[in-house]
């Protein structure tokens, strides 16, 4: 089940220029927030993912930061064919809303990849440290230039949650600068509008987004992915649906804890 849950939420786009957006006056999340998702292919359980914000504020580069982790794993029959244990995380500046540090530890079958990104926004640079796949010892590091206010692939999603969608027009493309795989890559989604979505927690007002991405080894068609976020100050993921080569992938909200704002459930 490689490149599934994390590929869904941590996406790259192409040929686009990032813009600045008006943000909500209130932060959409808080320490201790936890979002659990489950993925199925057809009727078969495939994977689970957890988005969690630590209940501790960490100091990185002399800045207060939230520690945010995304953990994904295969389950059921998919665990038998190709086990996945992925952890992506960021230390996200509570004031400037940029990452101070990013890490990813990838275990997918026999494949391993470990790296840490150290951001220096005063110098518009990032140091990418590659770690040994087993011992985690430093193997190499390299500096890269980055644009102002760049995000990583985790903080980019939390920045997206901060955008005031009342100021976004239906059909508008949202583009956020990110740094990923040793280079700058824009993260882009199209705002398709609003609708009511039936969820485990009830009927919820939702924002509908389509990430701009090309057909690849996972997705069968261009821009085939569709994401529903709660249409409230939280903007948590409610559902993801995509046509992939082995069928239809559905990701649905399983549980939430410690949301900062009321969820937009229709009574």
**Backbone region of residue 209 per phi and psi (left: phi > 0; alpha: psi in -120 to 50; beta: other values):** beta
Reported as a single tens digit per residue, the pLDDT across 140-175 is: 999 999 998 999 999 999 999 999 999 999 999 999
What is the Cα–Cα distance from 78 to 87, expressed in whole angstroms? 18
Reported as a single tens digit per residue, the pLDDT across 105-119 is: 999 988 999 999 999
102: which 2 tokens? 């990013």
pLDDT at residue number 45: 87
Alpha helix positions (H), 2-128: 5-9, 76-81
Of the chain, the percentage scoring pLDDT greater than 90 comes to 72
pLDDT at residue number 76: 86
Of 61-70, 168-177, 242-251, the one with minimum mean pLDDT is 242-251
pLDDT category, 197, cuts 50, 70, 90?
A: very high
pLDDT at residue number 65: 98
pLDDT category, 4, cuts 50, 70, 90?
A: very low
What is the Cα–Cα distance from 208 to 49, expressed in whole angstroms? 20
DSSP 8-state assignment for residue 264:
-
pLDDT at residue number 19: 65
pLDDT at residue number 60: 98
CB 150 within 8 A of CB 177: yes
pLDDT at residue number 81: 79
Q: Which residue has the higher pLDDT, 187 or 219?
A: 187
Q: What is the CA radius of gyration of the chain?
A: 18
pTM above 0.85, yes or no: yes
What is the Cα–Cα distance from 260 to 32, expressed in whole angstroms? 9
pLDDT category, 215, cuts 50, 70, 90?
A: low
Instruction: Count Cβ neighbours within 10 Å for each residue of 195-221 and write b for 16 or more, e otherwise.
Output: eebebeeeebbbbbbbbbbeeeebbee
Our measurement of the distance from residue 50's CA atom to the centroid of its chain's CA atoms, rounded to an integer in Å, reads: 11
Report the pLDDT averaged over residues 226-241. 95
pLDDT at residue number 246: 64
Kindly compute the dihedral angle of the four CA atoms of residues 266, 262, 22, 207, in this order, to the nearest 10 degrees.
Answer: -30
pLDDT at residue number 248: 79
pLDDT at residue number 133: 93
Distances (CA, A) of 11 to 33, 203, 216, 223, 264: 22, 27, 12, 11, 26
């Amino acid at each position: 089940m490689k490149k599934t849950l994390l590929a869904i939420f941590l996406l790259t786009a192409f040929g686009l220029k990032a813009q600045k957006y008006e943000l909500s006056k209130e932060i959409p999340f808080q320490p201790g927030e936890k979002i659990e998702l489950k993925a199925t292919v057809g009727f078969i359980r495939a994977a689970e993912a957890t988005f969690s914000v630590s209940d501790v504020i960490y100091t990185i580069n002399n800045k207060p930061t939230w520690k945010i982790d995304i953990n994904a794993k295969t389950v059921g029959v998919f665990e038998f064919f190709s086990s996945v244990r992925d952890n992506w995380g960021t230390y996200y500046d509570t004031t400037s809303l940029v990452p101070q540090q990013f890490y990813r530890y990838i275990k997918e079958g026999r494949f391993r990849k470990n790296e840490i990104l150290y951001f220096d926004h005063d110098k518009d640079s990032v140091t990418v440290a590659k770690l040994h796949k087993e011992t985690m010892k430093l193997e190499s590091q390299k500096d890269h230039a980055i644009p102002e206010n760049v995000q990583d692939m985790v903080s980019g999603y939390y920045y997206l949650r901060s955008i005031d969608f009342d100021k976004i027009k239906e059909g508008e493309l949202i583009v956020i600068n990110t740094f990923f795989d040793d280079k700058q890559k824009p993260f882009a989604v199209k705002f398709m509008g609003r609708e009511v979505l039936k969820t485990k927690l009830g009927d919820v007002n939702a924002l509908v987004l389509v990430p701009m991405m090309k057909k690849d080894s996972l997705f069968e068609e261009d821009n085939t992915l569709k994401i529903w976020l709660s249409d409230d100050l939280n903007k948590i993921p409610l559902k993801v649906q995509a046509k992939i080569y082995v069928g239809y992938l559905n990701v649905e909200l399983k549980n939430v804890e410690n949301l900062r704002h009321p969820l937009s459930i229709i009574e």
